[in-house]
Amino acid sequence: MLTLRLEDANTALAEKDRLNSELQQEKATLKVQVGKWKSLGDHGGVEVEELHKQRATLKSQVEHLESRVTEEQHKALAHEKALQKEHKKIEKLQEALEEQTRIAEEAKAIAEANRRDGAGDARMNKKLQKLTAALEEQAEKAVKAEEEASLLEEQSRCYKDELDKALSQIEKLRATLQLNGSTSRSRALSGHTSDEVEIIKRRQSEVSHPPAVESSHPNQKVASNNSLIPVKEPNGNAKKTSKKPDKGKDSQKSRMSTSDYKGKRKELPDDDGITTIESVGEANSKAQRGQTKGKEPQPAADASRDRDDIAVPKRKKRRKLNVNPFASAKPASLDWANQFNLVEA
């Protein structure tokens, strides 16, 4: 029975060592993920700053829980050592008890022989009483040692439960960190069209694999990094409608000069709570595009050509907001994290 308890204690110690190694690995991965989140920068504006604050608080909580886990592990190791010492004491007491029982049996056999012979009964009875008293004393010591061992096992079980609770809290905090990161990335890419998403991916690949010769104009590099970042305000309604842009507003935007957009970021609020922020470089490109389109003369229609051969002028593409009213609040996967991991590769 005691050997089974000792084996259970050894298996519990091995399980705790395995949990400790897994916890260290998870801690390392969590530190790497936090470093990656730090490298992303301010891509989401005010919402990303709030998520950074939440991440800092969660990180402090994780560190506090990790310190508690280390303390609990040290306590568990100390209790395991004390339990091993008690097991050794119990084994010694068992050996002494077996020796005393053997001596008592021998004394009983001698007493029986002397009783048969009818000589030395009183002396053997006294010796037998002393041996039985010693045997009872050793049995009481063994019972006390077993009680102490059971008490230490209960304490180690309590520490193990506290350790499991701390590990579960760490898992929950890590899940909330991943959920916050996934929601921020999905909100940052929800308002982009397919062309804009391809441009963003191309820029990320350029950042991960920079060219050998850098440009002599740092302003061009800064302008290339600017992109449209939609900021989605939280709303309780499940379905949302996007407001179509007006033609008059588009023509008025094309007439505006580049000096009006310099050093400013324009916000276009819609009725559905979605705000689109245009960067300086994109606003300048839109203004120049509108001026060039206004200056280009339309080619005269040739009478000799058919209507099918005449080039039809392309219509101006309107930017549409990709709003899915049936989309769930939770992201389907964490593939966006793999895209941003290429930046640090």
Q: What mean pLDDT is predicted for residues 107-113?
A: 82
Look at residue 99 and tell me whether its pLDDT is greater than 70: yes
Pick 234 or 116 by higher pLDDT: 116
Pairing verdict, β 274-278 and 266-269: antiparallel
Is pTM beyond 0.85? Reply is no
Look at residue 126 and tell me whether its pLDDT is greater than 70: yes
Q: Give the C-alpha separation, 84 to 87, whole Å.
A: 5
- The letter for the amino acid at 102 is R
Render the burial of 144-160: b for 16+ CB within 10 Å, e for the rest.
ebbeebeebbeebeebb
- The letter for the amino acid at 191 is G
Lowest mean pLDDT among 141-145, 173-177, 207-211, 228-232: 228-232
- Torsions phi, psi for 235 (to 5 deg): -145, 140
Q: Of 231, 178, 227, which is closest to residue 202 (Cα–Cα)? A: 227
Q: What mean pLDDT is predicted for residues 72-80?
A: 86
How many other β-carbons are positioned within 10 Å of the β-carbon of residue 117?
9
Pick 102 or 329 by higher pLDDT: 102
* Paired tokens of 255: 């007439």
pLDDT of residue 263: 45
Q: What is the mean pLDDT of the chain?
A: 67
pLDDT of residue 135: 86
Radius of gyration of the chain (CA): 40
Look at residue 26 and tell me whether its pLDDT is greater than 50: yes
Lowest mean pLDDT among 84-88, 137-141, 239-243: 239-243
State the fold for domain 2-189. Answer: Helix Hairpins (1.10.287)
Q: Give the C-alpha separation, 191 to 229, whole Å.
A: 7
Highest mean pLDDT among 66-75, 214-223, 265-274: 66-75
* Paired tokens of 275: 């705000």
Query: What strands lie across the sheet with 229-232, from one edge to the other?
Result: 229-232, 274-278, 266-269
Extents of the domains making up the chain: 2-189, 192-207+220-235+246-298+338-342
pLDDT tens digit sequence for 283-302: 556 556 655 554 444 544 44
Q: What mean pLDDT is predicted for residues 166-171?
A: 86
**Confidence band (pLDDT; 50, 70, 90) for 177?**
confident
Q: What mean pLDDT is predicted for residues 1-10?
A: 79
Q: Of 134, 148, 56, which is closest to residue 96 (Cα–Cα)? A: 134
Query: Is the four-CA dihedral 80, 82, 84, 87 of positive or negative sign?
Result: negative
**Helices marked H in 41-120:** 46-117
